[in-house]
Structure 1
Amino acid sequence: MFSPAKSFASAYRTVDAETSVAHASPHQLVTLLFDAALAAIATARGALQRGDVVVKGKQITKAVRIIDEGLRGGLNQAAGGALASDLSALYAYLVQQLTLANVRNDDKPLAECHVLLSTVREGWIAIPAQQRAA
């Protein structure tokens, strides 16, 4: 008659995520992309340590899509100049390293990607509020 508690938690997370996206500014949306990619990388690292190759592969694929389609795809190369170009190259490197980590079952590239992406995220959230709207 009733769904198990796990499905309630899943439904809550879905509604929470949809609400966050619906009410987010463009700056907050990019922050959500960073957070989702970092969470996927962290989950992949845990799965790799447990030997769960299916979850590892799915989470790395998720991180790759977020970085390549969300972060890299959202760059405005014309308006962003050298910064957009540098970020694009960094995101391409992250995708390459994540792919290597997946193929080789190697945590080292996952750890590197987590550090690099965390650093970019920190810089992103440090942007002053008045510059976020520009």
Structure 2
Amino acid sequence: MSRLSIQKYKDMKINGAANANPYELINIVFTSIIGKLTAAKAYIDRNDYEHKGIMIGESISLFGALQDSLDMEKGGDISNNLYSLYEFSQTHLVQANVNNSKEMIDEILEIVKTIKEGWNSIPLDVRNQYLEQKSAVGA
């Protein structure tokens, strides 16, 4: 892939995120975590521990962003449970990084994929209703 093609791809990703609604942004974060953790496993296979660490570190940061996006007041038990799950994932990934453990990464991948499936199963009318409420209050 040429430098120009790579730059166009990066610009597309940035512009896509900039134009995304809150629902889509969370979906982008889940997809990014999955991609980074999959890459981390490949880096372990290649004994490229520097890049493995970068991918895991970026995934840990994305889990932090997911935690920051939770509405703890309105979300109740769901937000509390997700917060704890994201915290577990971060801690588990630190251990996976130290141990170069693809198995531990796989455990977190399964968690993320399950959450993402649930997120994607939110009916479109519910998503739109939420987005309409957010725009009505200027959020």
What is residue 60 of structure 1 aligned with on the other side?
56
TM-superposed deviation, 1:19 = 1.7
Instruction: Write out per-residue CA displacement over residues 56-105 of structure 1, whole angstroms, 9 at most, x where no aligned residue.
Output: 0000001000111x211110101100000000000000001110000111
Q: Which runs of 5+ in 2 are unaligned?
A: 131-139
1:104 equivalent in alignment to 2:99: yes
Aligned-residue offset at 1:130:
1.5
CA–CA distance in 1 between the matches of 2:98 and 2:2?
A: 31
Q: In the TM superposition, what is the alpha-carbon distance from 1:6 to its structure 2 partner?
A: 3.4
Amino acid at match of 2:91: Q
Write the letter of the residue equivalent to 2:121.
A
Which runs of structure 1 show a deviation greater than 4 angstroms over 4 or more consecutive aligned residues? none
Amino acid at match of 1:98: L
1:43 maps to 2:39: yes
Q: Distance in 2 between matches of 1:9 and 1:98?
A: 32
Partner amino acid, structure 2, of 1:49:
D
Report the Cα distance in structure 1 between the residues aligned to 2:28 and 2:5, rounded to whole angstroms.
20
Percent identical: 24
User: In structure 2, the residue corresponding to 1:127 is in which secondary structure?
Assistant: coil
The gaps in structure 1 that reach 5 residues or longer are none
Structure 2 SS opposite 1:73: helix
What value does the CA root-mean-square deviation take over the aligned residues? Answer: 1.0
Match of 2:83 among 83, 88, 95: 88
Instruction: Report the count of equivalent residues.
Output: 129
Once the two structures are overlaid, the 10-residue window that deviates more, 76-85 or 19-28, is 19-28
1:32 and 2:28 aligned: yes
Counterpart among 4, 23, 32 of residue 8 in structure 1: 4
TM-score by length of 2: 0.89
| Residue in structure 1 matched with residue 14 of structure 2 by the alignment | 18
